[in-house]
Structure 1
Amino acid sequence: METEITYICNACGEDIVIPLDPSQGSVQEFVEDCPVCCRPHVIHVEIDDDGQARAWAEPEQDYD
């Protein structure tokens, strides 16, 4: 099983690597600031029955 996963920051476009914690369930949602531009995102993680994970981010708020 993977131990890290990436998502793309919607604000700055950077690929961000985060640790993957399957003990938190197969569907996860949490808020994290981008380490590059510091804008907050809601991170979504889904882990399927085969252990394959995918992650994506949505802005926590609208950006000007």
Structure 2
Amino acid sequence: MLEEAIVTCPCCWEEIVLEIDLSGGSAVYTEDCSVCCRPMTVRVTVDEEGGFEVGVESEEG
């Protein structure tokens, strides 16, 4: 099941839309920002009722 999440890139501060695949449950992965192309860590937490939270953080120190 795909959902969309609007997040703010931690590098360029632009709002971007991420497609989140909830079928795999909670996950942590790297994705490049569609605006500035810098890598960010995406953390998806899926709860038992099917709700989810998405957090992002920069991979650059």
Whether TM-score is above 0.5 comes out as: yes
**d(CA) in 2 for partners of 1:47 and 1:38?**
26
Give unmatched runs, 5+ long, in structure 2. Answer: none
Structure number with the higher strand fraction is 2
Shift of 1:17: 1.0
Between the two proteins, the alignment pairs up a number of residues equal to 61
Q: % of aligned pairs identical?
A: 38
Give unmatched runs, 5+ long, in structure 1. Answer: none
RMSD of aligned alpha carbons: 1.7
Question: TM-score, with normalisation over the residues of structure 2?
Answer: 0.82
2:33 paired residue number: 34
1:38 counterpart SS class? coil
